[in-house]
Amino acid sequence: MASIATGLAARLPQIIDDIEELIVAESPTADLAAVAKCAEIVAALGTRLTGQAPEWLFSAGRPSLRWRFGSADARSKVLLLGHFDTVWPIGSLLTHPFAVADGRLTGPGCFDMKAGLVQLFHALSVLDDLDGVTVLATSDEEVGSISSRALIEAEARRAGAVLVLEASEWGALKTERKGASLYDLTIAGRAAHAGLEPQRGVNATIELAHQVLALADIADLAVGTTVTPTVATAGTTRNTVPDSALLLVDVRVETAAEQQRVDAAMRALTPVLPGAELRLSGGPDRPPLQATSSAALFARAGRLYGELGFGQLRGVAVGGGSDGNLTAGAGAPTLDGLGAVGGGAHADHEHVIVAELPRRAALVGELVAELCKEPA
């Protein structure tokens, strides 16, 4: 065990250089050319460190990279999952250049999650046997994995365990993630002159207000369920009774049962004003990553972390989603947040704690080594 940690600690300068190479290849999700260029760098990195080139998989013109080692062609003992797209637009390096200072590494996308990808491949490179390992790196996680979702779920269904290399706020692994449902509620009313005959209209803004109050009743904070109206639009001119309105709704839940309950309640919404009509679109988007999915893997990770001499490992439940929600929803035991330690995802203060880079890579390496020893 000490040899893996020692070997990765000695590699820290190379790990930093590899992270820099990924960061300077800016890759905002919407820029397909930039994402493709970054994919080439990820592919070269993985090939150099594992000795095997990836498969290039495309959906809607967008690349994903997959490595399958040995018996993983039949069924994976462990799937390692990450993404190389970021939320940072081209040109962000001018205002947020790559830098290493005072024990912190900075640059657009360093924390979420280019450092995690580098840790992943360095962790695999120090292992003697990768039989049964699959690696999947995708390019649209930041917009909800629209094109890669089916691929992620398919790989999860054939995996004994999933390790997600998303970033870790202050070192805590993600043992639970809320599920998310997204809805668009369209309200149809009837226009009329607001001064001459407002009584002839059906005011979509007033109906919208009634529906906002109804949504508040669906939430159940006692069990962690939030139903949040976010964007609301209505009306066209000041002197016209609005004939339409649109309300966007964000739902977060801790359990699949709550996700189903809220979905049923959303679909049961009815108009309050005579003559108003409601049209609902959307629904459950990401299932929850529940503690039952991560518990065994987290216990194993905690034991290995202590045996490595790194102390006690912490877990945390969060409201934000990741591709770990998809793998857990597909039935695979999933542990998330195994990537870079730091903070500031999507923000000006995004950073990675340099000293934690080889430590987290060592934890991932030890987890993979143990999981590969188990029967498929």
Q: Are strands 179-188 and 244-253 parallel, antiparallel or unpaired?
A: antiparallel
Q: How many CB atoms lie within 10 A of CB 102?
A: 7
Alpha-carbon span 67 to 79, nearest angstrom: 10
Taking every pair of Cα atoms in the chain, the longest distance, rounded to a whole number of angstroms, is 83
Please confirm, yes or no, whether 85 is among the known catalytic residues.
yes
Cβ–Cβ under 8 Å, residues 158 and 165: no
Residue 113 preceded by cis peptide, ω within 30:
yes
Question: Residue 190: which residues within 8 A CB-CB, separation 6 or more?
Answer: 200, 201, 202, 241, 243, 275
Alpha-carbon span 31 to 53, nearest angstrom: 24
Q: How many CB atoms lie within 10 A of CB 61?
A: 9
Please confirm, yes or no, whether 263 is among the known catalytic residues.
no
Alpha-carbon span 328 to 297, nearest angstrom: 12
What secondary structure does DSSP assign to 56-107, as a single string?
EEEETTEEEEEEE-GGGGT-BSEEEEEE--BSPPTTHHHHS--EEETTEEES
Active site residue: 18, 20, 140, 141, which one?
A: 141
DSSP single-letter state for residue 321: -
Q: Are strands 226-234 and 244-253 parallel, antiparallel or unpaired?
A: antiparallel
Active site residue: 85, 207, 285, 323, which one?
A: 85
**Residues taking part in catalysis:** 85, 141
